Homo-oligomer: A and B are copies of this chain.
Amino acid sequence: MKRALIVLTEAYADWELSYVAAELSMSHSFKIDTVSLGETTVTSIGQIKTIVDYTIDQITEPYDALIIIGGNSWPTIENEQLIQLIKTSLNEGIIVGAICGAVDFLARNHLLTGFKHTGNDLNTWTTDEKFKQYTNSIDFINEDSVIDQNLVTANGSSSVDFAFNVILALGLIDNKEAEKNKYFYKSGFVAYKLKYGEIG
């Protein structure tokens, strides 16, 4: 069984977690360990109280994916352990996924350098002093989710694309299956049946 770490902060975005956790789980090849920056429980934007499996100081290798979920706390998060965890993962070729506010954190800490990527708001990244360590706007792609090398990024509207890009990057699904599944969740079952017929 492989192991995915999913970082959850206080006021995390429920929808950004939901598909990626479920798809990793339904692959039947991943154990999911949720990780906080210190809390034993975190509460989502949707007021869902979540018990986390580990705090960040308890993380040990090996793990096969590091997924970082967006949410309302990211603008003020400073965390050297998380920076090091992301840096190590990117350097070691481990699949890293970051969505919404989590991509802002990467941008703020020079961690997007060397990777094509997307995110919520290029304008803020290139004008706000807080993002002075973001120096590769040339690599920003105007798409909802981007895979480059071992990094998957997405904006906050695109939790389905993010989830399927993560499991695509992990080799758990092929492009054709990913397209079908994304269509199911984004266009709905009624449209899916017209295009692909019944499930299964």
Interface residues of A (CB under 8 A from B): 13-15, 17-22, 24-26, 31-32, 34, 41, 44-51, 53, 120, 142-144, 155-159, 161, 184-190, 192
Contacts and interface: CB of A to CB of B under 8 A. Distances in A.
Contacts of A34: 48-49
B189 A48 contact: no
A190 B46 contact: no
Identical chains bound together, number: 2
Contacts of A120: 189
A18 to B, nearest CB: 4
A92 to B, nearest CB: 24
A31 B47 contact: yes
A47 B32 contact: yes
B157 A188 contact: yes
A120 B200 CA distance: 14
Contacts of A157: 184-185, 188-189, 192
A85 to B, nearest CB: 20
A161 B188 contact: yes
Contacts of A143: 190
B46 A24 contact: yes
Contacts of A26: 45
